[in-house]
Structure 1
Amino acid sequence: MGLHNWVQIYLQEKLNCIDYKGYKARDKDMPDVNDHVINLQFSWKGLVKPVGSSFIGVSPEFEVALFTIIFLKSNERVTNAVVKVDEYLLEVVVCRHGRAIGTSYPKLLSSNNRDL
């Protein structure tokens, strides 16, 4: 389904399939124009996703490049890499599905600890 991508989240919300619950920005209460990664909570078709994460407003080329680099660096079924991108400390997760990427997503590590 790809609910780690802001375009898919938007399309599912437009179809009334997602009930958005809230977000966490990095180290602050409100995101601003410089925030490009958020943790969010939503329900999709009645199932609650307690914490999901997504890049927001970055180019598809950036996402493809980042996830491809992580994919190519390991042959493990799941590869976790901690990276610093601009001001963000992220854990990037890439899961293999055979010779392809099955799923991939960022986890925002440098965020505040307030509840959603």
Structure 2
Amino acid sequence: MSVHPTEEELESLSLACQKLWDLDENRLEPGVDYAINVQGGKNPFGNQDAAADKLFLGVKDDVWQRQTYVIFYNLLDNYERQTGIRETLTPQERQETIAFVNAIMETKPMQYCHNLLVKKGRAPADEGEFKDLLMKLWFYFYRRETDFDSSGFEHVFVGEVKNGKVTGLHNWIQFYIEERKGNIDYRGFIRPRRRGQGVENPDGNERILTVQMEWGDELKPISTIFIGTSPEFEMALYTLCFLAGGEENLIDIEQYDVMIKCYRMGRDRDQIGTAFPEVVGVDQ
């Protein structure tokens, strides 16, 4: 499948995002590479715990031998959980970040993302310059509560705690790892407002799920995560929507109507403050 966008995809962000999905050769298959136990549904404001067990029943061991998954995993412990604490990168952590950007640029989703952004005049054609742009968008530190205490990658993929509340943490790999460690308590999935929207009767094959969780002692009433997608797909999806879309981007992926929300941070408002999916028809 070509990593070069068609004219139709250049005109439609939704078609482009579906193409990213189709190009995600590293995506896991439910019931083959992983299994989930969705359990009970709830509204986001209820206090009851609708899930006695973990969300993830397991992920196959050989998944963690895939290059982008391994390097992504290495990044997750490089950050302070609490905002207001200045972040620093050791030389090793910086090399891990560079290795991740290099690795995802070898994949079809990121190559397609780059080609489309170049065609639309939103990114430099030179691959080295585009990697520098990815570093700035995702990994350069900026201020949430104090100088250099956050970054786009940390917020979206790792998660943070600010004023006693969980923010970000929209990635299934981080969710799975923290759940295995006993740090995340899955409290059930969020029911759609109306029939025919979102996940009504989950069967374990969901590709996107809106959940409630506790991370440590802090509650996140509602958070939507893709399930089984590769790190490169999510990086490409959010980068594409941030640079070629707006704050709210309504797209169709597989059978899901999804709103990708992107907000800006940084001194010049040119870095990713957050980027995350919402399933249309589910209260956020």
Fold shared per TM-score above 0.5:
yes
Distance 1:12 1:61 in 2: 20
Pick from 93, 109, 112 the counterpart of residue 261 of structure 2.
93
Q: Secondary structure at the match of 2:236?
A: helix
Give yes or no for contact 2:199–2:209 (8 Å, CA) kept in 1.
no
Distance 1:27 1:100 in 2: 32
User: Aligned residue for 2:239?
Assistant: 68
Q: Which amino acid aligns with 1:10?
A: Y
State how 1:9-88 maps to structure 2 within 5 Å.
Answer: 9-24=175-190, 26-33=198-205, 35-73=206-244, 79-88=247-256
- The alignment of Structure 1 onto Structure 2 pairs a total of residues equal to 108
RMSD: 2.1
Distance 1:7 1:27 in 2: 21
| 1:15 Cα deviation from its structure 2 partner | 2.1
Give yes or no for contact 1:18–1:44 (8 Å, CA) kept in 2.
yes
For structure 1, the 5+ residue unaligned runs are: none
Pick from 272, 277, 281 the counterpart of residue 106 of structure 1.
277
Give yes or no for contact 2:189–2:209 (8 Å, CA) kept in 1.
yes
Distance 2:256 2:275 in 1: 17
The runs of at least 4 consecutive aligned structure 1 residues that moved more than 4 Å come to none
Larger Rg: 2
Structure showing the higher helix proportion among its residues:
2
Give yes or no for contact 1:23–1:41 (8 Å, CA) kept in 2.
yes
Identity fraction in percent? 33
- CA distance 1:97–1:42, change in 2 (3 Å): same
Distance 1:103 1:31 in 2: 29
Of 65-74 and 95-104, deviating more is: 95-104
Residue 5 (1) aligns with residue 171 (2): yes
Per-residue deviation, residues 53-109 of structure 1 (Å, max 9, x unmatched): 1000112222112111111025x7xx1111111111001112223333232211111
Distance 1:44 1:32 in 2: 22
Q: Secondary structure at the match of 2:241?
A: helix
Distance 2:281 2:254 in 1: 12
For structure 2, the 5+ residue unaligned runs are: 1-157, 160-168, 192-197
Structure showing the higher strand proportion among its residues:
1
| 1:22 Cα deviation from its structure 2 partner | 0.7
